[in-house]
Structure 1
Amino acid sequence: MKRSWFRGLLAGSMLACSLIVAGMASAADAPAGLEKQGKPELKSAGPLTFGPAGVLFVGDPIGAQLFAIGVPAGSTSEPAGFKLEGVDAKIAAALGIPASDLLINDMAVQPGTNVAYVSVSRGKGPDALPAIVTVNTKGEVAPVDLASVNYAVIAIKNAPGPDQKDRRGNLVRLESITDLAFVEEKLYVAGLSNEEFASTMRVIAFPFTSADTSTAVEIYHGAHGAYETRSPVRTFTPFMFGGEPHLLAAYTCTPLVKLPVADLKPGTKLRGTTIAELGNRNRPLDIVSYEKGGRTYLLMANSARGVMKMSTDEIEKVEGITSKIDDKAGLGYETLAGLEGVEHLDRLGEGDVLLLVRTTAGVKLESIPLP
């Protein structure tokens, strides 16, 4: 969950429909902005982030829509810290499927609790059925039918067509929403559009009162030696540069780019500033920022380059990369030993981070102190 620009970035038939945790509030008790009550018609459950108290945002890439769903306050009675093995098997068992049919899409910690929300797919490909479950520190998995909840929904504009495929035959709609962050009453959404400049950042005020505003994003990719407009932001985090709010966005192969929030304007094109090339043949998976000892750091999980820790001490002095490079450049990082296989991460309270880790034995959830 990501709720401020700099400090406290805390982070998002019965089985033929989506699932979520039990205990939804009544309509009278619903948080502001959740004007509907009933069953949200999710076609997929992808990126997650928390917003105002009691509101979970869920990206639905296949449906090209965003949901805000009312969730219970959450218990604070569970013991602190996660150390759970076989989480994929537990989730699959709760959903009545084999673990081989489960695909984990995202994870977000509910602020103020020791409860993780996990979005998954029951099956593989565009026909997979979505689900959202909770996991607590005791290893209890709690999926509940979304038969009657308080929610709101908004469609995203100019999404890729439902049957549109890229040159490799992959369904482009799956990347219409790649990451979410909620900051100061606005939901920031990364993904692809059907426009010429396909890479897009959307800004949507909550409560959902109007259509999203989208900005086409262009970046310079030093490893490729070219400006690019069709690769989506894979993961991003809010950050403050020189007193002005920005988004720090990571792309495949792995440029790290700063995007001024003030320049995210409807119908415009924005050229981001590439402040790091972190190594090619790699896909960034998740990123958080945090403070420790009076200094600010970034922590990023990757498909091929482990977990990177980056100090931001010199981040405002880094010059933008505008020419081809052979390997790495700009903001430096260290690779944290012993953190192999991390696919998702999120802040857990003030001093810890929760890791979703894939091992040869399955998936585990483990919390560690912020490094």
Structure 2
Amino acid sequence: MSIRNGRFGVMLAALLAISLGSATSYAASGLSPGPVELQSLGPMTFATSGVLIIGDPKAAAVYAIATEDKQVDGDLQNSLPKDLRGQLAAAIGAEADALEIGDMAVNPETGNVTFSVKANNRCGLVRMNRDGQFQKINLDKIDHGRKQLPNPPADKISGEGRRKRNLRDQSITDVAYFDGKVIVSGLSAGDSPSAVVEFPFPFADNTIVSNVEIFHAAHGRVEDAAIQTFVPLNIDGEPSLLAGFTCTPLVNFPIGKLDGGEKVRGKTVAELGNRNRPIDMIVYEKEGVTHLLLSNTARGVMKVSTEKIDDGPGLTEPVRGGGTAGQPFEKIESLVDVTQMDKLSDTQGIALIGKPGDAPQLKIFDLP
């Protein structure tokens, strides 16, 4: 064999090893090739090795999808699109006017951004690389896993008047990957609907469903509405879940107590103002302190320090008149009309900005 053919053989063997290694890796994660048909746009987050965790509320299911996301050279700050909706629509072959943007998630291993989108009654995924190039993620045949949630609300309209709605749409309100596990918030069927679901990744059968409730100081009563958004983090060394609810209590749940036993009442650590719904949260470190950044429908973006956030008994008395109480916060005036956001690096975040009807824009910002 010539030297040239020998080199070719070595290269071919290396490529095969890489390919087989990738396939073995995804197989070890419980992923297998096949189509993914998303029924609805739900929350997303990344696990490891480019695996995207995405909730599908309509199906009451969570998918793990091997996105094959690779590191790309580029400066995203100087590559942000002027027409985000148009670029996303072009990637999936749709008209911009027909496109709906769902969630946005940054792969922390590559810095690339994945969007969930919907057009012509079909849901899909599009990746924006750091060089500003957009790429459709082909869901027709992709390594993935699927986890069906137990006991979701029925997929039907219920209630009367202003309370008329399909509770299935809240079967999944947020997802996170933490310490090798997937955590899901949302509603379940039954008399105590607000739930936190935990299961390992790779997906397995040992699912823990915990029903939760809170003292809503703005309303002066105990409630079991759905968590709207949350972040898992360690508070004073204890794994915890900080959750935001409509109208806008911030509540701490020790993850160790979410064991599937009795209903868990979280500690209300702050009331952040009424007539508002929290949209998204990110957590980050700055100058040795862990901070929470919270976007809202009506009260802008808030920065909340977690320092001493678990001290004391929490809020136990009513907070009237739309007032705020508990853990102090700072409103970030430079971030307005934020609908989605994620941490881009240890020092920067990226936000999807725009009022309903406006052209959506992306903004990269320094973590405050």
Q: What residue in structure 1 maps to residue 268 of structure 2?
A: 274
Q: Does 1:187 align with 2:182?
A: yes
Q: What residue in structure 1 maps to residue 40 of structure 2?
A: 44
Deviations 1:267-295 (A, max 9, x none): 53111110000000111010111111122
Q: What residue in structure 1 maps to residue 50 of structure 2?
A: 54
The separation in 2 between residues aligned to 1:129 and 1:165, in whole angstroms, is 25
Q: Give the unaligned 5+ runs of structure 2.
A: 1-18
The separation in 1 between residues aligned to 2:159 and 2:88, in whole angstroms, is 32
- Report the AA paired with residue 110 of structure 2: T
Q: What residue in structure 2 maps to residue 219 of structure 1?
A: 214
Cα RMSD after superposing both structures: 2.1
Q: TM-score, normalised by structure 2?
A: 0.88
CA contact (8 A) 1:115 1:137 kept: yes
Identity across matched positions, percent:
37
SS in 1 for 2:91: helix
**Displacement after TM superposition at 1:165 (Å):** 3.0
Match of 2:286 among 292, 296, 299: 292
Deviations 1:26-75 (A, max 9, x none): 64452632332111232223111111212111101101111111121422
The separation in 1 between residues aligned to 2:237 and 2:202, in whole angstroms, is 27
SS in 1 for 2:85: helix
Closer, same or farther in 2 for the Cα pair 1:211/1:154, shift >3 Å? farther
Closer, same or farther in 2 for the Cα pair 1:100/1:319, shift >3 Å? farther
Q: Does 1:148 align with 2:144?
A: no
- Report the AA paired with residue 186 of structure 1: K
**Displacement after TM superposition at 1:251 (Å):** 0.4
The separation in 1 between residues aligned to 2:277 and 2:74, in whole angstroms, is 34
Q: What residue in structure 1 maps to residue 16 of structure 2?
A: none
Q: Give the unaligned 5+ runs of structure 1.
A: 1-22
Closer, same or farther in 2 for the Cα pair 1:117/1:38, shift >3 Å? same
> Higher helix proportion, which one?
2
The separation in 2 between residues aligned to 1:318 and 1:308, in whole angstroms, is 22
Alignment of 1:128-147 (within 5 A): 128-147=121-140
Q: Does 1:35 align with 2:67?
A: no
- Report the AA paired with residue 370 of structure 1: L
CA contact (8 A) 1:26 1:150 kept: no
- Report the AA paired with residue 270 of structure 1: V
Structure with higher Rg: it is 2
**Displacement after TM superposition at 1:80 (Å):** 4.1
**Displacement after TM superposition at 1:76 (Å):** 3.2
Q: Does 1:98 align with 2:95?
A: yes
Closer, same or farther in 2 for the Cα pair 1:100/1:221, shift >3 Å? farther
Farther-moved stretch of structure 1 (206-215 vs 194-203): 206-215
The separation in 2 between residues aligned to 1:296 and 1:204, in whole angstroms, is 26
The separation in 1 between residues aligned to 2:23 and 2:289, in whole angstroms, is 43
The separation in 2 between residues aligned to 1:89 and 1:51, in whole angstroms, is 29
Q: Does 1:345 align with 2:341?
A: yes
Q: Does 1:63 align with 2:59?
A: yes
**Displacement after TM superposition at 1:240 (Å):** 2.0
Match of 1:330 among 322, 326, 332: 326
SS in 2 for 1:315: coil
The separation in 1 between residues aligned to 2:60 and 2:310, in whole angstroms, is 35
- Highest relative contact order (Cα 8 Å, sep 6+), 1 or 2? 1
CA contact (8 A) 2:72 2:131 kept: no
Farther-moved stretch of structure 1 (76-85 vs 219-228): 76-85
**Displacement after TM superposition at 1:361 (Å):** 4.5
CA contact (8 A) 1:356 1:365 kept: yes
The separation in 1 between residues aligned to 2:301 and 2:312, in whole angstroms, is 21
Q: How many residues align?
A: 344
**Displacement after TM superposition at 1:246 (Å):** 0.6
Q: What residue in structure 2 maps to residue 369 of structure 1?
A: 366
